[in-house]
């Protein structure tokens, strides 16, 4: 066939294919068949560190001649796969596991007779499943019971459930979970706070969700109500402090609803995980998972709750179709987070947080290759976690803030609310957003924001020159005091910190030069007791500055911090800073890591290992 004849044919073929027939990080043949419901039946076996049971998948076939279902899996041991009728298993199906890829796992290819509505996969997980952490009792607060929790985002659901692990696919789910008595199981689904810890649990998620929002936690958990539809689960030792810290949760829900429409998920509960949780928070629907490191005692880090709650609109309701469009999840969420903070804690606080976000973006841009500075990035063949940079979060936030400023809130707020309404329970990409923005704001209000400006945010590196930078008078006052002290014109005792918030402390520390001398660091520490502070964000920045200045006296407390906490955002940069300095810091880092590593999550280990060449 000549090229001339081939071309129109090819074009026709491409046009008839659904736009998102494949996901760059999934083996699934989404163009042929999609999972519409999952029924899980699992036993939680702490001795073997394994989930064991079966997954029933309800299938929605998309092409008449399709006979094959390809699922994602990673380190799963598959037993039998059954084609099921209405009354249970009916006949065994042929299946094969493909070659194992370090990033994407293994394709599980199932050959089916016809197009059955339901299949059953018997399987169990590996103790090393990348999406699970099994904690021995010693690694929990009480030391009485073991703990298990999942972290499925971005592509770890496949390590504990054979599934189409691609955010383009949404399904409802039910689960029956059996555990030893004395521990409570919770999932990202309807949870009845009155459940007794009797070892048998049932869950039901009636709204369709993508696989990365599948979640489970099992452990010694206590519940406290925070309001009519919100509450908190935590280990008994933490429940009091946690309930105090997150007392504003119900109000946050109300504020979000007033801006962006009804909260559509029923209850909104929080679950505080052991300190090895690798992230700050995870927006598992109806049940946000949290690091205990946000419990500062003074509610100063609750923007994180606002953030995870905001995902109930951006991310969980309107979902990025694949990880190349991650900014649609995190940029929108960071913007909404800031609006919640403003409504609850005032403009001064929201502005400070936005300035911190813009500054950390600039710091990260300095280290990132230009192509990874676009909002839309190309993660083909790469770990989707590589997309988890300040670009998606802070550059995304900044674009929305700029749009808000250009169009005014009277136009922008209803626009965003419509975006969530119109895209509810759908998976979308950046082109969907561009079309919507043009139709709803740019075309009806010409001259306020141009196509070139939009293009610069989405497809060019850096921050566009027209970006509106936030000013904070509070921070200018902090800067002035710091500069005076550094210049020797203000004594350390003269620094006026009585009314400083955590955000002002972060600003103060962030602006310190890297070459402070030992005497200066001692002065600060003597007066402000920074080493060993219970505020994890402040402690983190202080330790970074102290490491860069080669200040050894922090070591015992830094050691404790790195052993007690497994949040990747804190521990990874600290090990990196230590490693950068070479000996003797490298030796210190290695010895700390040897103590800490057994308590770290697989995700954190995978990030730190290469830094210390393990």
Residues annotated as part of the active site: 308, 393
Taking CB under 6 A as the rule, does residue 215 contact ligand BES? no
Cis peptide bond N-terminal to 584, omega within 30: yes
Tell me how far apart the alpha carbons of residues 193 and 230 are, in angstroms, rounded to a whole number. 10
Query: CB within 8 A of 380, min separation 6: which ones?
Result: 24, 324
What string marks each residue from 119 to 158 as x (binds ligand BES by CB under 6 A) or -?
A: ----------------------------------xx----
Q: Does 406 participate in binding ligand BES (rule CB under 6 A)?
A: no
Quickly count helices (H) and strands (E) in the chain: 19, 21
Give the strand order in the sheet containing 88-92. Answer: 88-92, 77-85, 118-124, 50-61, 33-45, 171-178, 200-209
| Beta carbon nearer to Zn ion, 166 or 388 | 388
DSSP 402-457: HHHHHH-HHHHHHHHHHHHHHTTTEEE-HHHHHHHHIIIIITTSTTSS-HHHHHHH
Whose Cβ is closer to ligand BES: residue 46's or residue 570's? 570
Please tell me whether residue 579 adopts helix, strand or coil conformation.
helix
The CB-of-393 to Zn ion minimum distance in angstroms stands at 7
Site string for ligand BES, 568-587 (x = CB under 6 A): -x------------------
- Binders of ligand BES: how many residues, by CB under 6 A? 16
In the block, tokens 């509070």 appear at 474
User: Counting beta carbons within 10 angstroms of the beta carbon of residue 126, is it exposed (0 to 12), middle (13 to 18) or buried (19 or more)?
Assistant: middle
Q: How many residues bind Zn ion (CB under 5 A)?
A: 2
Q: Do 253 and 268 contact (CB within 8 A), yes or no?
A: yes
Q: Which is nearer to ligand BES, 380 or 445 (CB)?
A: 380
Site string for ligand BES, 551-570 (x = CB under 6 A): ------------------x-
Shortest Å distance, C-beta 288 to ligand BES: 9
Q: What DSSP state is assigned to residue 101?
A: B
**Residue 383 or residue 421: which is nearer to ligand BES going by CB?**
383
Name the nearest CA neighbour of 75 among 119, 123, 41, 36: 123
Which residue is it, tokens 């502005």?
351
Question: Between residues 330 and 351, which has the closer beta carbon with respect to Zn ion?
Answer: 330
**Contact letters (x/-) for ligand BES, 233-252, by CB under 6 A?**
--------------------
Give the shortest CB-397-to-ligand BES separation in angstroms: 10
> How big, in percent rounded to 5, are the helix, strand and coil portions of the chain?
40, 20, 35
* Binding track, positions 281-320, relative to ligand BES; x by CB under 6 A: xxx--------------------x--xx--x---------
Q: Which is nearer to ligand BES, 53 or 281 (CB)?
A: 281
Name which of Zn ion, ligand BES, none residue 318 binds, using a CB cut-off of 5 to 8 Å depending on partner kind: none
Strand residue runs (E) in 429-587: none
Instruction: Tell me if 513 sits within 8 A of 546, measured CB to CB.
Output: no
Least separation in angstroms between CB 568 and Zn ion: 14
Complex with ligand BES: residue 42 or 379, whichever CB lies closer: 379
In the complex, least distance from residue 295 CB atom to ligand BES, rounded to whole angstroms: 14
Q: Which of residues 324-363 bind Zn ion (CB under 5 A)?
A: 330, 333
Minimal distance, residue 315 CB to ligand BES, in Å: 7
Q: How far is the CB of 152 from ligand BES (least distance, A)?
A: 8
Please name the residue that has the structure tokens 């599980």. Answer: 108
Which residues of the chain form contacts with ligand BES (CB under 6 A)?
153-154, 279-283, 304, 307-308, 311, 330, 385, 388, 393, 569
Which residues of the chain form contacts with Zn ion (CB under 5 A)?
330, 333
């Amino acid at each position: 066939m000549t090229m001339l004849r081939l071309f129109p044919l090819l074009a026709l073929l491409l046009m008839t294919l659904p736009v998102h027939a494949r996901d760059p990080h999934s083996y699934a043949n989404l163009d042929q068949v999609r999972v519409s419901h999952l029924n899980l039946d699992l036993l939680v076996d702490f001795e073997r560190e394994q989930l064991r049971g079966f997954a029933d998948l309800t299938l929605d076939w998309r092409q008449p001649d399709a006979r094959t279902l390809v699922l994602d899996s990673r380190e799963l041991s598959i037993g039998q796969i059954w084609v099921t009728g209405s009354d249970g298993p009916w006949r065994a199906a042929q299946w094969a596991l493909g070659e194992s890829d370090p990033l994407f796992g293994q394709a599980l290819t199932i050959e089916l007779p016809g197009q059955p509505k339901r299949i059953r996969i018997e399987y169990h997980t590996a103790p090393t499943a990348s999406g699970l952490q099994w904690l021995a009792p010693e690694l929990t607060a009480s030391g009485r019971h073991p703990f298990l929790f999942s972290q499925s985002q971005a592509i770890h659901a496949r390590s504990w459930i054979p599934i189409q692990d691609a955010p383009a696919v949404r399904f409802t789910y039910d689960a029956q979970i059996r555990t030893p008595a004395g521990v409570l199981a919770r999932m990202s689904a309807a949870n009845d706070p009155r459940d007794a810890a009797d070892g048998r649990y049932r869950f039901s998620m009636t709204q369709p969700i993508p696989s990365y929002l599948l979640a489970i936690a099992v452990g010694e958990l206590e519940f406290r109500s925070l309001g009519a539809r919100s509450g908190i689960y935590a280990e008994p030792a933490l429940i009091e402090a946690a309930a105090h810290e997150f007392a504003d949760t119900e109000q946050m829900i109300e504020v979000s609803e007033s801006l962006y429409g009804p909260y559509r998920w029923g209850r909104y509960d929080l679950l505080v995980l052991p300190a090895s949780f690798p992230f700050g928070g995870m927006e598992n629907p109806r049940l946000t998972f949290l690091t205990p490191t946000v419990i500062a005692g003074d509610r100063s880090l609750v923007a994180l709750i606002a953030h995870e709650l905001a995902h109930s609109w951006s991310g969980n309701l309107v979902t990025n179709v694949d990880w190349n469009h991650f900014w649609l999840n995190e940029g929108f969420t960071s913007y909404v987070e800031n609006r919640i903070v403003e409504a609850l804690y005032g403009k001064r606080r929201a502005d400070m947080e936005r300035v911190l976000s813009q500054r950390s973006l600039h710091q990260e841009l300095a280290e990132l290759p230009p192509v990874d500075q676009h909002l839309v990035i190309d993660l083909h063949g790469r770990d989707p976690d590589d997309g988890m940079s300040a670009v998606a979060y802070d550059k995304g936030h900044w674009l929305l803030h700029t749009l808000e400023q250009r169009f005014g809130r009277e136009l922008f707020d209803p626009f965003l609310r419509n975006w969530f309404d119109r895209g509810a329970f759908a998976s979308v990409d950046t082109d969907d957003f561009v079309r919507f923005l043009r139709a709803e704001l740019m075309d009806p209000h010409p001259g306020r924001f141009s196509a070139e400006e939009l293009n610069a945010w989405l497809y060019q590196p850096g921050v566009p020159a027209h970006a509106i930078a936030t000013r904070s008078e509070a921070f200018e006052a902090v800067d002035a005091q710091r500069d005076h002290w550094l210049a020797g014109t203000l004594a350390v005792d003269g620094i006026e910190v009585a009314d400083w918030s955590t955000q002002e402390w972060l600003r103060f520390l962030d602006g310190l030069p890297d070459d402070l001398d030992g005497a200066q660091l001692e002065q600060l520490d003597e007066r402000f007791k920074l080493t060993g502070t219970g505020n994890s964000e402040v402690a983190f920045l202080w330790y970074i500055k102290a490491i860069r200045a080669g200040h050894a006296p922090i070591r015992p407390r830094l050691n404790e911090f790195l052993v007690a906490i497994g949040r990747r955002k804190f521990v990874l940069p600290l090990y990196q800073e230590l490693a950068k300095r070479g000996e003797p810091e490298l030796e210190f880092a290695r010895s700390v890591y040897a103590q800490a590593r057994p308590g770290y999550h697989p995700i954190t280990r995978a990030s730190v290992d290469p830094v210390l060449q393990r």
